[in-house]
Amino acid sequence: MKEKNHIHIYDKNGNIICCSLEEKIDAKTPPPIAKEKDQHHEDDGHNHSHDHSHEGGLGWKAYLSALISLVLLLSGLAVEHLQEASFFKGWIKIVWYTLAYIPVGFPVIKEAWEALHKGEVFTEFFLMSIATIGAFAIGEYPEGVAVMLFYAIGELFQTIAVKRVKNNIKALLDVRPNTATVLRNGNYGTVDPEMVEIGETIQVKVGEKIPLDGILLSEKAALNTAALTGESKPQNALRGEKVMAGSINLDGVIELKVEKLFHDSSIARILDLVQNATSRKSKTELLIRRLAKIYTPIVVYLAIAICVLPYFFISDYVFTDWLYRALIFLVISCPCALVISIPLGYFGGLGAASRKGLLFKGATYLDQLTKVNTLVIDKTGTVTKGVFKIKDIVVKGDYSETEFMNLLMAIEAKSTHPIAKAILEYNTESNLPEATNIQEIAGKGLKGEVAGKTMTVGNKKLMEQFNILVPSETDSIVETIVVVGIDGSFAGYVTIADELKADAKDSIQQLRKAGIKTLMMLSGDKNSITQKVADELGIENAKGGLLPEDKLNEVKKIKQDPTKIVAFVGDGINDAPVLAASDVAIAMGGLGSDVAIETADVVIQTDQPSKIATGIKIGKSTQRIIWQNIALAFGVKIIVLILGTGGLATMWEAVFADVGVALLAILNAVRLQRMF
């Protein structure tokens, strides 16, 4: 098969592993993401004539051969039937229609010939060539031209449809940064992003794409992350926060400290996922491809039987009549409507999902997600933001809240613990006093001197160690609590809590509507906090205080029930074992660890749990459209096959049963892009 008008999917080595008509192709064509930075687009044009200046469509040369054939065919029909010209007979008529046939027929005959040399006999090119050459042999010249012309037009429509469903993926290819401005020897210079090392400082100007993942060194940044997350709303980042490659800097010059090499960056990982997504085909697609390989030779032998067998049973047998019926049978039998529209349907579903910030690592997972009836959810970073915030400040004694917090923040400034970071985000306009003689008590907290006062800051076990009496009212507090002792007396406490994500509650309702019957929350956080979050979300079954192996055991218990199809959603390194054990593994792609993302089958780039329900809806819509296409193709073909065998259908009906149905199936598949 050559490269015109087909969906090509590549593996990491550049081998074509899937296209619209063949399950595997022997070719060594470079993948879309090539070493050359400007080769961002595949050549989808008819006869390799794609005009790259036309971003939204094909070059004019792609339409030329079909247009020439159409003009010659219509002219010939007009002269023959409308004017009834006497000269339009014999060799003149044959030559005219042959000239009409060549522009669209020669490429197909060439394909059939090349396939025969490779031992591939029963291809659609072979069927089309035999059927149309046979039509010429029995004098049905206009019909022979029409079959090949409509086939070429169908191929053009297929190419346009493929380009349309590829738009989102091509947008991802366009955000791949080509240069990086790196600080070396005190000066900034432009280099290839692949040449930048971890730890180097890069500069990004307004409107430029961030070339590598890194930590923001500037005070703040406004970023457009739409190509990565599907979210059009600009995202704000503060100093010390991670920013992803492929984001566009919207405001002021910023500096970053590189955290990952180019090939490990967010954009490189996303591109790899999207490009290789359809390499894992769904069971439906594989089944249809296997059936097509069996089905095609069978119909060829049936066509031969239709032509030959009546000779032995019918007294008034006319060879040309039965050959015509056999040729009609061949045209109808072409399986391109199935073999084109099904991969295109999955490709459209994967494209719609990636536009919504959902990256499926294969079409099979798009199918599998629709079967999930049990969803197990991690807490921190999945339904919560994974960022600690001060919830309550309770001060006892003669201190004001500001004085209390200044003393607390002074000692917490010496800690790198996430809880300390949350406390230091408290807004205060006064300068913090200096903390001295800091002593860290492992697993309990800190002790030191601040402004002449002895500060003891940590959990209740620390207070017990230094004989500081903590009121019993704190026993009922579910959230993480930081108790403060000043000069040996209880002075107050601060509660720290992780916030629910904005769409967390709504996502649970959507999941139930999408058909998830069982919801369970598993967390390494303490059980009291886990139960509280589960209650807020309406999840009946929740367990906290679990180690990674505990989570794994819980999922294994669920999977002992063969009726349970389990999906797990997580974001941390500790979630990797249970992600690997689940039927469908879903990872948060923004906050998620690299290990979790690599292990997952589905990656949510926006970190929104509500996207799970969106993925289920896209999967169900994709399946529905694919089965509609299968029913349409088989239904129409069977009807016209019966009519053709009985002599009640002409080549024109055969064209509709093949090319027309293929076109309708393609248009049906393209609907996915409008639905989401």
- Copy the structure tokens of residue 361: 């690592």
- Copy the structure tokens of residue 533: 């979050």
The dihedral formed by the CA atoms of 100, 104, 108 and 109, expressed in degrees to the nearest 10: 20
- Copy the structure tokens of residue 515: 């058909």
Contact 572, 592 (CB under 8 A): yes
Classify each residue of 377-391 as buried b or exposed e, where b means 16 or more C-beta atoms within 10 Å of its C-beta: bbbbbbbbbbebebb
């469509």: which residue's tokens?
Answer: 57
**Burial of residue 650, with CB atoms counted within 10 A of its CB: 0-12 exposed, 13-18 middle, 19 or more buried:** middle
- Do the strands 584-588 and 566-570 form a parallel or antiparallel pair, or are they unpaired? parallel
- Copy the structure tokens of residue 603: 């990656």
DSSP 361-423: S-HHHHHHHHH--EEEEESTTTTEEEEEEEEEEEE-SS--HHHHHHHHHHHHTT---HHHHHH
**Closest of 557, 562, 563, 566 to residue 586, by C-alpha:** 566
Strand, coil or helix: what is 242? strand
What lies within 8 Å, CB to CB, of 309 at 6+ separation is: none
Contact 19, 10 (CB under 8 A): no
Contact 492, 399 (CB under 8 A): yes
DSSP 618-647: HHHHHHHHHHHHHHHHHHHHHHHHHHHHTT
What distance in Å separates the CA atoms of residue 292 and residue 219, rounded to the nearest whole number?
60
- Do the strands 201-204 and 254-258 form a parallel or antiparallel pair, or are they unpaired? antiparallel
DSSP 150-197: HHHHHHHHHHHHHHHHHHHHHHHHHTS---EEEEETTEEEEE-GGGPP
What distance in Å separates the CA atoms of residue 228 and residue 25, rounded to the nearest whole number?
31
What backbone torsions phi and psi does residue 464 show, to the nearest 5 degrees? -65, -40
What distance in Å separates the CA atoms of residue 486 and residue 490, rounded to the nearest whole number?
6
Amino acid in the structure at residue 586 = I
Q: Is 378 a catalytic site residue?
A: yes
- Copy the structure tokens of residue 46: 């008819």
Amino acid in the structure at residue 388 = F
**Closest of 144, 67, 127, 156 to residue 340, by C-alpha:** 156
Among 378, 601, 607, 658, the one annotated catalytic = 378
- Helices 661-675 and 336-355 pack at an angle, to 10 degrees, of 10
What is the DSSP-derived secondary structure letter of residue 432?
P
CA distances from 442 to 450, 622, 660 (A): 20, 54, 74
- Helices 141-174 and 266-275 pack at an angle, to 10 degrees, of 160
Residues of the chain by 3-state class (helix, strand, coil), percent to 5: 50, 20, 35
Angular region, 465: left φ>0, alpha ψ -120 to 50, beta rest? alpha
Contact 615, 595 (CB under 8 A): no
**Residues recognised as catalytic:** 378
